[in-house]
């Protein structure tokens, strides 16, 4: 059986099933981008080709977690938090490793109206003086100029933050509307490589609004309950490729 088609895998939705259906934060984003691709994946078992692994980004993510965990254990603020005037500390909790495990565990909430178990894997959480959790996400890139979250495609970053805020509130945590992106930008202006890549690290605040999440989860449920394949998203490259291939194949 093709690795792109497996209708019997556990991640395929069965409208008759009684057990909760696990739906990740990334699949919610897939639904928003293209209901057709979402349906093909979660209902029919036809997944999109996977992207290439970003090994360098994963390494930066791992090192940032080690660095912030050191301050977490010492109950001290990271120098970056002090530099940007963020009056908070890395949050300590016994479930920290569980929340970070996006593939197998993560932070979860059983959405009763749909029987969806919504999941997400979090990079970090800080806590401010008011006892509010601050959702933190690590990002890495290499580009000229200052990094920001203003590009159209970065709406996915903002949705990601808002789903995490929603999940922690559903787990009875007090959560700040303002989260932070710790953004690492590789510096390519150095005269020589010398076996190392240096990064400029910037903290970007983002005030989230998670009021949309419940409604979208319900719409995703209605999509998977249907027996009809929905239309594609307005700007889905996968759907455009499939349509172009059909045209030339006749």
- Write down the pLDDT at residue 150: 87
| 41-50 confidence digits (pLDDT tens) | 999 999 888 7
Does any domain span residue 1?
no
User: 45 near 12, Cβ under 8 Å?
Assistant: yes
φ and ψ at residue 120, rounded to 5 degrees: -160, 145
For residue 13, is it within any domain?
no
* pLDDT for res 53: 67
Q: Is residue 233 part of a domain?
A: yes
CATH number of 233's domain: 3.90.320
Domain that residue 156 falls in: 21-249
Q: What is the mean pLDDT of residues 75-79?
A: 96
Is the predicted pLDDT of residue 1 greater than 60, yes or no? no
| Count of the separate structural domains present in the chain | 1
Q: What is the pLDDT of residue 55?
A: 76
Strands (E), 104-243: 107-111, 116-120, 124-128, 133-141, 178-186, 199-207
pLDDT given for residue 2 in this prediction: 53
Indicate whether 230 pLDDT > 80.
yes
> Is 204 a member of any domain?
yes
Q: Is 56 domain-assigned?
A: yes
Would residue 12 count as lying in a domain? no
Residue 11 lies inside a defined structural domain of this protein: no
For residue 6, tell me if it sits in a domain.
no
Q: Tell which wins on pLDDT, 104 or 231.
A: 231
Kindly report the pTM of this predicted structure.
0.91
Query: Residue 5: pLDDT band by 50, 70, 90 thresholds?
Result: low
């Amino acid at each position: 059986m093709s690795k792109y088609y497996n209708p019997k895998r556990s991640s395929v939705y069965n409208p008759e099933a009684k057990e909760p259906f696990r739906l990740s934060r990334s699949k919610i984003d897939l639904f928003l981008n293209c209901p057709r691709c979402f349906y093909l994946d979660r209902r029919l078992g036809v997944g999109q080709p996977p992207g290439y692994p970003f090994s360098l980004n994963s390494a930066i993510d791992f090192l940032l977690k080690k660095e912030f965990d050191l301050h977490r254990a010492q109950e001290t603020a990271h120098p970056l938090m002090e530099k940007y005037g963020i009056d908070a500390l890395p949050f300590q909790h016994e479930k920290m490793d569980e929340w970070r495990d996006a593939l197998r565990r993560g932070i979860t909430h059983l959405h009763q109206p749909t029987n969806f178990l919504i999941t997400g894997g979090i990079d970090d959480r800080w806590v401010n003086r008011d006892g509010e959790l601050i959702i933190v996400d690590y990002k890495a890139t290499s580009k000229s100029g200052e990094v920001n979250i203003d590009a159209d495609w970065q709406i996915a970053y903002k949705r990601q933050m808002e789903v995490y805020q929603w999940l922690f509130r559903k787990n009875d945590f007090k959560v700040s509307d303002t989260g932070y992106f710790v953004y690492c930008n590789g510096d390519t202006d150095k005269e020589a490589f010398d076996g190392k890549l240096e990064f400029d690290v910037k903290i970007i605040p983002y005030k989230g609004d998670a009021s949309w999440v419940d409604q979208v989860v319900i719409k995703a449920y209605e999509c998977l309950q249907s027996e009809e394949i929905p239309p594609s998203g307005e700007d889905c490259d996968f759907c455009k490729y499939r349509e172009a291939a059909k045209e030339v194949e006749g």
